[in-house]
A = this chain, B = another copy of it.
Amino acid sequence: MQLYSYFRSSASYRVRIALALKNLSYDYVPVHLVKNEQLQPPFSQMSPARLVPLLKDGDHLLTQSLAIIEYLDETHPEPALLPGDPLARARVRALALDIACEIHPLDNLRVLRYLVNDLKVSEDDKNRWYRHWVETGLDAVERQLADSPATGRFSHGDTPTLADIVLVPQIFNAKRQDCRLDHVPTVMRIFDACMALDAFSKTQPSACPDAS
């Protein structure tokens, strides 16, 4: 397999964690998002979505981090990244989507660029925007984790799931932008539990071949 990734892309980091948890080997192919390499050939010709991560498995191209991770979980079931029970699966997926749909899309590089370049939003306001969505979004995740007996050492029980895989990269982004995190103690406890595992720590942005 080849993973087209950018070290700071949190969606790419999600897939790196999933591959590591499943102990799957792959070639790392860097795509430099700040240089817009995803919009230019050869990448743009290979991927009509023009987004990283992109996973190449044989001749097959897979996009969208959550779809890639579900695919890996279906084709390499051990260790499972989703629980077996439908209600528990729904809880894990909802926690992942609370970040993947409610926080991360608002703080994407292309979105921040549009705010500054097209809407002429100031640097200060852009940073305020960034922190607002991270801090309020993580607050909603914290309420759900703190309130539920299903929360364990990790977001769901005592083994890492898709929910943790999406949570950890978001915390990296939050720290990079100096977001408040003292209001989400359960989130941070789970973050620390994840970072004690090689699958999370050895795939982090600064450990990537293209880190700069």
Task: For A101, give its contact among B64, B93, B114 (CB under 8 Å).
Answer: B64
CA distance A7 to B68 in the complex (A): 32
Task: For A118, give its contact among B51, B102, B132 (CB under 8 Å).
Answer: B132
The reply to whether the CB of A94 lies closer than 8 angstroms to some CB of chain B is yes
Contact A48 B144 (CB under 8 A): yes
The reply to whether the CB of A90 lies closer than 8 angstroms to some CB of chain B is yes
Task: For A70, give its contact among B51, B75, B90, B143 (CB under 8 Å).
Answer: B90
Contacts of A101 in B (CB 8 A): 64, 66, 100-101, 104-105
The reply to whether the CB of A35 lies closer than 8 angstroms to some CB of chain B is no
Task: For A94, give its contact among B67, B111, B140, B143 (CB under 8 Å).
Answer: B67
The reply to whether the CB of A181 lies closer than 8 angstroms to some CB of chain B is no
Residues of A participating in the B interface, judged by any CB pair closer than 8 Å? 48-51, 60, 62-64, 66-68, 70-71, 74-75, 86-87, 89-91, 93-94, 97-98, 100-102, 104-106, 111, 114-115, 118-119, 121, 125, 128-129, 132, 140, 143-144, 147
